[in-house]
Amino acid sequence: MKKVLIAGVGNVLLGDDGVGPFVTRLLASRYEFESGVEIEDLGTPALDFIDNLLGLDALIVVDSVENGKPAGSVTLYRKPHLVRHAPGVRMDPHSPAMSESIMAADLIGTGPREVLLIGISGGSYEAGCDLSAPVKASVEAAIREVIRELDRLRIPHHLNENAGSPAIWWSDATPAVTTAG
């Protein structure tokens, strides 16, 4: 059984930065996976991200990216691209740390061999709980990339017959959900 993490990363209070959690929650409501596959909305982890990486065979991250492309563009990045720049001298030690976490997991020796970042170019990062129109329109494309990667890794998946509404509680566009329990 392969261990796979599908992680949505980003701040759901800052506009398009929340697209990663948005996509993973949609995926979690639509699909069922065999054990060994986890889907997590990780929010905005710093070096804590290392904990999520240890012992994985494959990591799929969905995150907003800055790459100069128009909002809503979906771009795929593999591990060599993500670790090609060394981490910097940190003033604030909690700064975003995806590359550094992957490097640290490799140093320990049990980091994921396969890494895919599905990057969605953001448009607006103003405080607010909804995605901009072009980014929202790219959500289905991002989901297709996740499924394509699972197929490549030969990880079984199927549509959930009893799919409920996704637990995107922060969005004003979807009804509030019960959270306690």
Partner 1 sequence: MSKRITVDPITRIEGHLRIDVEVDNGAVSDAWASCTMWRGIEKILEGRDPREAWLFTQRFCGVCTTVHAIASVRSVEDALNLEIPANAQYIRNLILINHGLHDHIVHFYHLSALDWVDVLQIPKADPAKTAALAESISPWTGNSKLQMKAAQDKVKAVAGSGQLGIFTNGYWGHPQMRLSPDVNLLAFSHYLQALEYQRKANQVVGMLGGKTPHIQNLTVGGVANAINLDSQATLGMERLESMKVLMDEVAKFVHQVYFVDACAVAAFYTDWFGIGGGVKNYLAVPDLPLDARATQFDLPGGYIANGDLSSVRTFKAAADAQFRPAVLEDVTHSYYRGDTRLHPWKGETVPEFTNWQADKKYTWVKAPRYENKPAQVGPLAQVLVGYVQGHPLTRKWTDAALQTVSAVSGKKITINDMHSTMGRHLARAIRCAMLADLGDRHWQMLVDNIAKGDVAIHNPPSFPSGEIEGVGTHEAPRGTLSHWVVVKGGTIKNYQAVVPSTWNASPRDNAGAHGPYEASLLHTPIANSEQPLEVLRTVHSFDPCMACACHTFDVEGKQIAKVKVL
- The CB-of-167 to partner 1 minimum distance in angstroms stands at 11
Task: State in angstroms the smallest separation of the CB of 78 from partner 1.
Answer: 11
Shortest spacing between CB 61 and partner 1, in angstroms: 8
**Cα radius of gyration (the chain):** 16
Cβ neighbours for 95, distance < 8 A, ≥ 6 positions apart? 46
Residue in 3, 1, 10 with CA at minimum distance from that of residue 117: 10
> Among residues 86 and 159, whose Cβ is nearest to partner 1?
86
Contacts of 73 (CB under 8 A, 6+ apart): 67, 120, 121, 138
Nearest CB to partner 1, comparing residues 42 and 143? 42
Cβ proximity to partner 1: between 13 and 137 the closer is 13
The closest of 71, 68, 63 to 134, measured between CA atoms, is: 71
Is the CB of residue 145 less than 8 Å from the CB of residue 118?
A: yes
Report the nearest approach of partner 1 to the CB of residue 161 (Å). Answer: 25
C-beta of 32 vs 99, nearer to partner 1: 99
Q: Which residues bind partner 1 (CB under 8 A)?
A: 9-14, 16-17, 41-48, 50-51, 63-68, 75, 77, 81-83, 85-96, 98-100, 103-104, 106-109, 117, 119, 122, 125, 127-129, 169-170, 176, 179-181
Pick between residue 98 and residue 139 the one whose CB is nearest to partner 1. 98
**Amino acid at position 151, single letter:** D
Number of Cβ atoms within 10 Å of the Cβ of 154: 7
Least Cβ distance, residue 99 to partner 1 (angstroms):
6
